[in-house]
Amino acid sequence: MATIKKGHHRPLIPALGLYFNKEKIERKVTFHASCRYAATSESSINKLFGIGYFPSHHNNSARFGWKYNAETDSIDLFAYCYDNGERLSSLSNQHIIASVNIGIEITLSITVKETAYIFEINGGTLTIPKTCKTKLGYKLGVYFGGNDTAPHDIKISI
């Protein structure tokens, strides 16, 4: 269970670890009722998990992003990537992969190919192109925001 305390961006215990030539990352995830929040920024996407490449995940990375959707009382899931410093996914270019119910366990995976990341959620997929050739990467974990911090304690089983 990852808990982001009110006023913070990440859990007290961050995701740590290196990857070399990692081909697939898979996690079982449950968003708890505490993941409901009133958004203060429509463009902000929270991060769930993924892989970043040296020197910085703001240069090259692939992560699942998430955002609470108050209209449907569900969690919208996104592909959230950087390729050579360019963010390839955001709300504006509709890389929503799925909307999932709160309290239901889902299986998420990112497959790393030579020229693409393949995001998969319970059988649905989205492919994002990549040019990064770096093989040495590191784990990216749960993060609330862009700029906003958690409005209350946020709990995600991951």
CATH of the domain at 145: 2.60.120.200
Residue 65 pLDDT: 94
Domain, as residue range, for 110: 2-157
pLDDT lower than 50: segments of the chain = none
Count structural domains, the chain. Answer: 1
Write down the pTM of the prediction.
0.91
pLDDT of residue 147: 85
Are 66 and 57 spatial neighbours (Cβ–Cβ below 8 Å)?
A: no
Q: Within a 10 A sphere around the Cβ of 108, how many other Cβ atoms?
A: 23
Q: What pLDDT, on a 0 to 100 scale, did the predictor assign at position 97?
A: 86
Residue located via tokens 């995701």: 15
Q: Dump the DSSP string for 108-129.
A: EEEEE-SSEEEEEETTEEEEEE
Rounded distance, CA 140 to CA 51, Å? 5
Neighbour count for residue 80 (Cβ, 10 Å)? 24
* Cβ atoms 140, 158 nearer than 8 A: no
Q: Which two tokens stand for residue 65?
A: 């992003």
